[in-house]
């Protein structure tokens, strides 16, 4: 059992009151989960301020409290620790509590609007193929070697990160590849971690509801690089306007990748089909099972990360060319000559890239039918933009629900419709029920046509007013395509 003093190592303290040798059973930042002997860390959030729940935490058995502002009256039985930043303190405490697992692994964090899951999944699979025992933290799933631990966030909270990494160390992992969401960076979920490297994929419109301005969104991503140690590597996409901005203040070793300019890791697309990509990558020709130019970026960043971690380039390319991407990213199904594609594109940039890829591989007279929605309780500004892209780049569009969460589906759809040019309304249907929307697309499709179902990718649920209802785009379209188009 660790004491409070043990786990406060390296935390910036303002004041302490009470016994610092008090034993800590677990670290909890949600008063509802406090048990006998927990230390409760009060963090100010987006909805409420954790400081409001200090009394409740004590009532439930917390013996020590870590907070930024002390309560008016201090319970003499309890140890109070005042800190400068409780979210940061939580990260450092969680690292100490679990024996600083990140310092025993080579941890690479990938940030960027799009491509994080794809890159960490490729890295995880690659390092397994290279013979390492490897961990991964991602939107789709967390992994300790082959074992899957369900994921609730793109980047888990600090306690969960360290608990998972401790599990990785215990199982003999040498590497961990993790996604760093901008929310997580701002909320200090990664405070206290030791990183071997960080990768920047790209930045485009998303999450302005949370960050307020695009500048603050850029700053959030840059913070990951600002805080890297000097023995780590920073690897950025030089083709993105903000790539070099990320590295402006980093102490880490700077590296670049891309398709357009001379960079440390450079690729050129030789061919791009629905079967895969052929690249000239660092002067070598190789074939990959991923689709679309945007995946040429992901592959090049993965090659770069692996080489910067000390791997041999030819071996990396050989293994990488066998690997498939993450579930729900450009998953294809062909029934009676109709192709259905399920993709997690949930930002304007991703949707445009996927539709560009489809435009690039289509042969002529076929229709592209896009089914797309936007999530509730998320950035409203991206809604009209995504609808505009869908209608400009497809022959038919069905606007539908994504995860409405606490919003009314028709309100979200109204926001989307605002982006549709009046002429494009002729080819646009609005069907809130996602299954019905997919069904309509299947009915409209004829031999040769391509249906894109965007936004939910690997997700196996639809979140409506706090309840996650089972829903799987790929299973739904598979079932409906077979029902509608086979044995006709
Ligand atoms: C907007 C956001 O990021 N919210 C995250 C944040 O919660 P919050 O700041 O809203 O918390 P809050 O409800 O205000 O509560 C403040 C504090 O009081 C505590 N509390 C609250 C109530 C109570 O009774 N007792 C109590 O102690 C809470 O535990 C918390 O510590 O901190 C929580 C703990 O880490 C997260 O679970 C929560 O994620 C919510 C569920 C969420 O939906 N987050 C999304 C937006 C998110 O983080 N997404 C990114 C990926 C985005 C992308 O890349 O596309 C991700 O990393 O997953
Ligand atoms: N490098 C890239 N550039 C632009 N778009 C991409 C790139 N990689 C993937 N995409 C698109 O973005 C979608 C999401 O990809 P991925 O899941 O890898 O991103 P992510 O950054 O993990 O997203 P999230 O923020 O939800 O965690 C893909 O389905 C694809 O449409
Ligand atoms: N990580 C992203 C996922 C969005 C996926 C989309 N299906 C939605 O629900 O908006 C987020 O939390 O904003
Ligand atoms: Mg992700």
Residue nearest to atom 4 of ligand 3 (CA): 346
pLDDT number for residue 365: 84
The tally of CA atoms less than 13 A away on the side-chain side of residue 245 is: 17
pLDDT number for residue 48: 97
**What is the Cα–Cα distance from 3 to 25, expressed in whole angstroms?**
9
Closest by CA to 77, choosing from 95, 89, 90, 59, is 59
Beta pairing class for 276-281 and 265-273: antiparallel
**What is the Cα–Cα distance from 301 to 297, expressed in whole angstroms?**
6
pLDDT number for residue 230: 97
pLDDT number for residue 363: 79
3-class secondary structure, 150: strand
357 burial level (CB within 10 Å; 0-12, 13-18, 19+): buried
Distance 256 CA to ligand 3 centre (A): 28
Kindly state the average pLDDT of the residues 146-158.
97
**What is the Cα–Cα distance from 378 to 5, expressed in whole angstroms?**
40
pLDDT digits (tens, 9 = 90+) for 415-426: 999 999 999 999
Q: Which helix (H) or strand (E) holds 220?
A: helix 214-226
Under a CB-based contact definition with an 8 Å cutoff, are residues 174 and 106 in contact?
A: yes
Residue stretches of the annotated binding site: 31, 112-118, 154-155, 181, 187, 189, 378, 402-405, 455, 459
pLDDT digits (tens, 9 = 90+) for 26-67: 999 999 999 999 999 999 999 999 999 999 999 999 999 999
Ligand 1, CB cutoff 6 Å, lining residues: 29-32, 43, 45-48, 50, 53, 153-155, 157, 181, 183-184, 187
Say what angle helices 434-444 and 473-485 make with each other, to 10 degrees.
Answer: 40
Under a CB-based contact definition with an 8 Å cutoff, are residues 348 and 205 in contact?
A: yes
Q: Ligand nearest 112 Cα, by number?
A: 2
**What is the Cα–Cα distance from 62 to 56, expressed in whole angstroms?**
9
Q: Where are the domains of the chain?
A: 4-90, 98-320, 331-485
Kindly state the average pLDDT of the residues 148-170.
98
Distance 114 CA to ligand 4 centre (A): 7
Kindly state the average pLDDT of the residues 230-235.
98
Residue length, the chain? Answer: 488
pLDDT number for residue 488: 56
CATH number of 4-90: 3.40.1390.10
**What is the Cα–Cα distance from 371 to 373, expressed in whole angstroms?**
7
Kindly state the average pLDDT of the residues 123-149.
97
H and E: helices and strands count for the chain: 16, 26
**What is the Cα–Cα distance from 129 to 323, expressed in whole angstroms?**
9
pLDDT digits (tens, 9 = 90+) for 394-413: 999 999 999 999 999 999 99
DSSP string over 257-298: EESSS--SEEEEEEEEETTEEEEEETTEEEEES--SHHHHHH
Main-chain dihedrals φ then ψ at residue 479, nearest 5 degrees: -65, -45
62 burial level (CB within 10 Å; 0-12, 13-18, 19+): buried
Q: Which residues contact 322 (CB under 8 A, 6 or more apart)?
A: 129, 289
pLDDT number for residue 211: 87
Fold of 331-485: 3.90.190
Q: Does the structure show a pLDDT above 70 at 258?
A: yes
Under a CB-based contact definition with an 8 Å cutoff, are residues 454 and 351 in contact?
A: yes
Under a CB-based contact definition with an 8 Å cutoff, are residues 203 and 225 in contact?
A: no
Distance 181 CA to ligand 3 centre (A): 12
4-90 and 331-485: identical CATH topology: no
Give Cα separations from 457 to 344, 372, 454 (angstroms): 4, 11, 7
Q: Ligand nearest 180 Cα, by number?
A: 1
CATH number of 98-320: 3.40.1190.10
Give Cα separations from 383 to 202, 414, 464 (angstroms): 20, 9, 18
Q: Does the structure show a pLDDT above 60 at 272?
A: yes
**What is the Cα–Cα distance from 307 to 281, expressed in whole angstroms?**
13
Residue stretches of the annotated binding site for meso-2,6-diaminopimelate: 378, 402-405, 455, 459
**What is the Cα–Cα distance from 120 to 440, expressed in whole angstroms?**
35
pLDDT number for residue 487: 65
Under a CB-based contact definition with an 8 Å cutoff, are residues 88 and 22 in contact?
A: no
Is 375 touching ligand 3 by the criterion CB < 6 Å? yes
Distance 37 CA to ligand 1 centre (A): 24
Under a CB-based contact definition with an 8 Å cutoff, are residues 221 and 200 in contact?
A: yes
β-bridge mates for residue 272, sequence order: 277
Q: Which helix (H) or strand (E) holds 385?
A: helix 382-392
Closest by CA to 152, choosing from 137, 166, 169, is 137
Q: Does the structure show a pLDDT above 80 at 194?
A: yes
Establish whether this prediction's ipTM goes over 0.90: yes
Mean of the per-residue pLDDT values for the chain? 96
Distance 242 CA to ligand 2 centre (A): 17
**What is the Cα–Cα distance from 340 to 474, expressed in whole angstroms?**
9
């Amino acid at each position: 059992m660790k004491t409070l003093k043990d786990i406060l190592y390296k935390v910036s303290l303002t004041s302490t009151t009470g016994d610092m040798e008090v034993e800590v059973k677990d670290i909890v930042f949600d008063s509802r989960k406090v048990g006998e002997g927990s230390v409760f860390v009060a963090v100010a959030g987006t909805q409420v301020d954790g400081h409001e729940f200090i009394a409740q935490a004590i009532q439930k058995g917390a013996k020590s409290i870590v907070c930024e502002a002390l309560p008016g009256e201090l319970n003499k039985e309890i140890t109070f620790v005042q800190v400068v930043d409780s979210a940061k303190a939580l990260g450092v405490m969680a690292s100490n509590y679990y024996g600083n697992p990140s310092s025993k692994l080579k941890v690479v964090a990938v940030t960027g609007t799009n491509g994080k899951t794809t890159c960490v999944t490729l890295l995880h699979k690659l390092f397994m193929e290279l013979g390492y025992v490897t961990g991964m933290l991602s939107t789709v799933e967390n992994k300790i070697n082959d074992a899957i631990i369900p994921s609730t966030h793109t980047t888990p909270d600090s306690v969960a990160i360290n608990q998972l990494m401790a599990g990785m160390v215990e199982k003999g992992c040498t590497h961990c590849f993790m996604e760093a969401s901008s929310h997580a960076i701002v909320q200090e979920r990664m405070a206290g971690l030791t990183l071997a490297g960080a990768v920047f994929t790209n930045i485009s419109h998303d999450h302005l509801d949370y960050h307020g301005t695009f500048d603050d969104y850029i700053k959030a991503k840059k913070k990951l690089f600002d805080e890297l140690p000097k023995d780590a590597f920073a690897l950025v996409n030089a083709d993105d306007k903000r790539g070099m901005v990320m590295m402006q203040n980093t102490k880490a070793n700077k590296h670049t990748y891309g398709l357009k300019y001379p960079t440390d890791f450079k690729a050129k697309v030789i061919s791009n089909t629905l079967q895969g990509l052929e690249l000239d990558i660092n002067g070598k020709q190789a074939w990959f099972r991923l689709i679309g130019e945007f995946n040429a970026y992901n592959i090049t960043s993965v090659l770069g990360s692996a080489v910067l971690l000390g791997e041999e380039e030819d071996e990396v390319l050989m293994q990488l060319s066998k690997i498939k991407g993450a579930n729900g990213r450009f998953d294809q199904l062909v029934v009676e000559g109709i192709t259905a594609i399920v993709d997690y594109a949930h930002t304007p940039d991703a949707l445009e890239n996927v539709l560009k890829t489809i435009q690039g591989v289509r042969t002529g007279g076929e229709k592209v039918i896009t089914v797309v929605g936007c999530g509730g309780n998320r950035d409203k500004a991206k809604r009209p933009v995504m609808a505009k892209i869908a209608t400009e780049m497809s022959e038919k569009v069905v606007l539908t629900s994504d995860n409405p969460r606490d919003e009314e589906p028709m309100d979200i759809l109204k926001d989307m419709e605002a982006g549709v040019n009046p002429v494009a309304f002729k080819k646009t249907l609005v069907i809130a029920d996602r299954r019905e929307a997919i069904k309509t697309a299947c009915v409209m499709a004829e031999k040769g046509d391509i249906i894109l179902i965007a936004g939910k990718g690997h997700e196996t649920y639809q979140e409506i007013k706090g309840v996650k209802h089972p829903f799987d785009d790929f299973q739904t379209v598979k079932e409906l395509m077979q029902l509608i188009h086979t044995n006709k």
